[in-house]
A and B are shown apart, each in its own frame.
Chain A
Amino acid sequence: MSENMISVTQFSNYVKQIFSSEELLHNILIYGEVSGFNISRGTAYFNLKDEDALLPCVRFSADELDYIPKEGDMVVVRGSPNYYVKGGRFSFVVTSIQAYGLGLLYQQFLELKAKLEAEGLFDTARKKALPKNIKRVGVVTSETGAVIQDIIDISRRRNPMLDIVLYPAKVQGVGAEATIIQGIKELDKTNVDVIIVARGGGSLEDLSCFNTEIVARAIAETVKPVISAVGHETDFTIADFVADLRAPTPSAAAEIVSIDLGALVEQLNFATRKIIASTQNYLLNERDNVFNLSDTLCNDFILYQQNKRQPIREILLKLGQRVDKNLMSNEHKVQLLVNKIEAKNPLAILKMGYITAERNSKRVTSIKEVKIGEELSLNLLDGILLTEIKEKKGEEK
């Protein structure tokens, strides 16, 4: 059989670890009788004991203590256990010491807590979830003071549409429990989505009404979820344990019930801008595409028409050439004819300086047709010459 060995340090650290990891032992209240109280180099050492047990206690920074207990005083201390590794000593590290008068309240608190816990009133299973969309919030607290103002300011800033219904309650002193219970019950009957039970910080006595059984039961019995927001972050009350949710402070409760509408709107804005931008982009692309297609359609159509026109143009051209040729040759023929006709015109002959001769209005073309001494008319272009034949030359056969 082989057993693992560990060193003293390992063992001691393990023991220390056990105490420091056990959260149920942290920040707890213990009451007992003080013995052997002494302060050495700023640290207070004492034992807390009852009939059957003794607990060594240590309080660092003893000069901060506003109450120095005497031997035999009944006190309630708050603190956590610690194992001092170097000295091999267990001690309870105290953060506060109070006289038993106050300690009694703690004792009652602890007893009530134990009783309700045993009944299952603190069970997570019976905690009601907060609705997702909170529109109307009921608040049970004092109508004066900073608490309600903080709740209104914070929730208005985050979600201006949130309705806040205040049930003004007495939150300390005689009769406070009654108004708190009434407030919880009344608001539970209305259309609020959630109820906040709130109070500012105070002493244990100040908060005592939130440590009563009747308030705890009123909270446990509601239909609507209840948020407790009593005192400072370090204050715990029975109301906190029984509530569906504990907010560390009233301001925190206001934040819990109010969604940050500004952030939500910003988110929505961003998404909207994105949708619009991408849709516009899409439309622009499609528009370009259709534009190009239309452009191509027109160009293609024109090109097609040009292609069809080309052969026709060629035919026309050839046709035209042929017609021209025809016309030209005809013109030429006419000109020739005209020339010929022109040539036969007697006037034209006269123009050229030729003369025709007539006797008795009869054209003379031979010397045989006339005798010497006879008259002869000579036709010129601009008139007639009357002449007498004196002599004939040439051959006469």
Chain B
Amino acid sequence: MNTELNLAAPDDFYDELIGLHRDLTETQSALVNAKLILLLANHVGDADVLRAAMAAAREDLPQ
């Protein structure tokens, strides 16, 4: 899994990601996030990368 910067314009991406959720209810936001994960996961395809990403996502959770 590549965790070095791979985005040409990171601030623009972040802005668009937050914008994606504008005016959505909490439930709608959760659904959009889930759809986004599924779309990206299928695009990535590589099971090892997906597993590594899932493991990284679970790290350092606030108690």
Answer yes or no: do A and B interact.
Answer: no
Residues of B within 8 A of A (CB): none
Which A residues form the contact surface with B (CB < 8 A)?
none
